[in-house]
């Protein structure tokens, strides 16, 4: 009986540790993926900026640049107040926001006349908008695009229901809307930061060619098709095999080197398990 109770206790402790490990992966491990994506996107986008500068110098000012394909770099957003500098990608699906802040395709591009909107995480995947609640009226937001640099001044911060999309509706002036989840670690509401273009500090705004759709939805990324569970079961099987081999080896050679030698491959396959579990979740924050 004592052995049974002891076995149940060890099993519960193991499950608890695995759950804590997943929480740690959500909060910090996902940031590693985003950092890698941001590094690659920044390198590619800076090349595009250099090419655009050369074209402007030799051929005059070109027409407004169209939006890039989904998931590709669109702009660099800088918010000095909160120490943010990040690449903005086109799109707000779950996959897009894993790379960094994402531009709502239904809205004008930053620097165009109308209500340009950008979404970003607050607690996972690098949490680019973690501190946007600190932004106050008058704070600056700088967006650098292929067409020029645009400085916006914060005019308002508000909290809305996650289904309330009026903050994404079209406007007749150049505005910027930042959206993120609220409160932190929850997706029940949305934090909104509104800003207007400071024309004297910016390149000339252009006319948008995008039809701003009043149906643009905060939930567009959440509704995307989820991957199948097949890869998850493969990783779970791999984790079970590695875990059992690690346990058997440690029972035979009870040395710290054996523990470390088993911990490394088990941690690797466990991260694979966490990655595929996270992809199946309804949303991230």
Q: Examine residue 57 and state whether it is found in any structural domain, yes or no.
A: yes
Phi, psi of 176 (to 5 degrees): -130, 135
Do 51 and 117 have their domain in common? yes
Do 49 and 178 have their domain in common? yes
In 3D space, the residue among 98, 52, 88 whose CA is nearest the CA of residue 178 turns out to be 88
Do 152 and 285 have their domain in common? no
CA distance 231 to 156: 44
Do 236 and 193 have their domain in common? no
Task: Kindly give the parts of the chain with pLDDT less than 50.
Answer: 214, 221-225
Do 127 and 233 have their domain in common? no
Last residue of a domain, one of 143, 169, 201: 201
Do 197 and 251 have their domain in common? no
Q: Examine residue 230 and state whether it is found in any structural domain, yes or no.
A: yes
pLDDT for the residue 217: 55
For 174-209, write each residue's pLDDT tens digit: 999 999 999 887 878 999 999 999 999 888 888 887
Q: Examine residue 28 and state whether it is found in any structural domain, yes or no.
A: no
The SS3 of residue 157 is strand
CA distance 268 to 66: 41
Cα of first residue to Cα of last residue in the chain, in angstroms, is 44
Q: Examine residue 166 and state whether it is found in any structural domain, yes or no.
A: yes
Q: What is the DSSP string of 179-193?
A: EEEESTT--SEEEEE
Domains: count for the chain: 2
Residue 176 parent element (H or E): strand 174-182
CA 176 from chain centre, in angstroms, equals 18
Do 125 and 45 have their domain in common? yes
pLDDT for the residue 224: 46
Q: Examine residue 121 and state whether it is found in any structural domain, yes or no.
A: yes
Q: Give the chain's length.
A: 285
8 A C-beta contact, residue 65 and residue 145: yes
In 3D space, the residue among 82, 78, 80, 81 whose CA is nearest the CA of residue 101 turns out to be 78
Q: Which domain holds residue 191?
A: 37-201
CA distance 247 to 73: 45
Q: What is the DSSP string of 9-30?
A: HHHHHHHHHHHHHHHHIIIIIH
The CATH number of the domain holding residue 71 is: 2.40.260.10
CA distance 236 to 226: 18
Q: Examine residue 220 and state whether it is found in any structural domain, yes or no.
A: no
The SS3 of residue 205 is coil
Q: Examine residue 211 and state whether it is found in any structural domain, yes or no.
A: no
Do 122 and 255 have their domain in common? no
Last residue of a domain, one of 201, 234, 253: 201
The SS3 of residue 206 is strand
pTM for the model: 0.83
As a whole number of Å, the CA-based R_g of the chain is 23
pLDDT for the residue 229: 79
Residue 75 parent element (H or E): strand 73-79
């Amino acid at each position: 009986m004592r052995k049974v109770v002891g076995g149940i206790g060890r099993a519960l402790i193991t499950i608890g540790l695995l759950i804590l490990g997943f929480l740690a992966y959500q909060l910090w491990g996902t940031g590693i993926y985003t950092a890698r994506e941001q590094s690659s996107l920044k390198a590619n986008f800076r090349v595009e900026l250099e090419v655009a500068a050369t074209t402007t110098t030799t051929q005059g000012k070109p027409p407004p640049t169209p939006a890039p394909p989904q998931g590709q770099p669109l702009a660099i957003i800088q918010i000095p107040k909160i120490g943010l500098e990040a690449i903005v990608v086109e799109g707000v699906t779950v996959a897009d926001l894993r790379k960094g802040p994402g531009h709502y395709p239904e809205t004008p591009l930053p620097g165009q006349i109308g209500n340009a909107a950008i979404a970003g995480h607050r607690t996972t995947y690098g949490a680019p908008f973690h501190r946007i609640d600190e932004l106050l009226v008058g704070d600056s937001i700088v967006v650098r695009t292929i067409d020029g640099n645009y400085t916006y001044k914060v005019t308002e911060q508000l909290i809305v229901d996650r289904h309330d999309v009026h903050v994404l509706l079209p406007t007749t002036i150049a505005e910027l809307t930042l959206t993120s989840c609220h409160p932190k670690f929850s997706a029940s509401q949305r934090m909104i930061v509104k800003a207007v273009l400071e024309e004297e500090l910016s390149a000339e705004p252009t006319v948008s060619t995008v039809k701003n759709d009043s149906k643009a939805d905060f939930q567009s990324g959440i509704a995307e098709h989820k991957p199948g569970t097949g890869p998850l079961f493969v990783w779970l099987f791999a984790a079970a095999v590695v875990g059992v081999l690690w346990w058997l080896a440690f029972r035979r050679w009870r040395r710290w080197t054996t523990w470390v030698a088993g911990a490394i491959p088990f941690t690797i396959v466990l991260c694979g398990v966490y990655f595929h579990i996270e992809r199946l979740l309804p949303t991230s924050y």
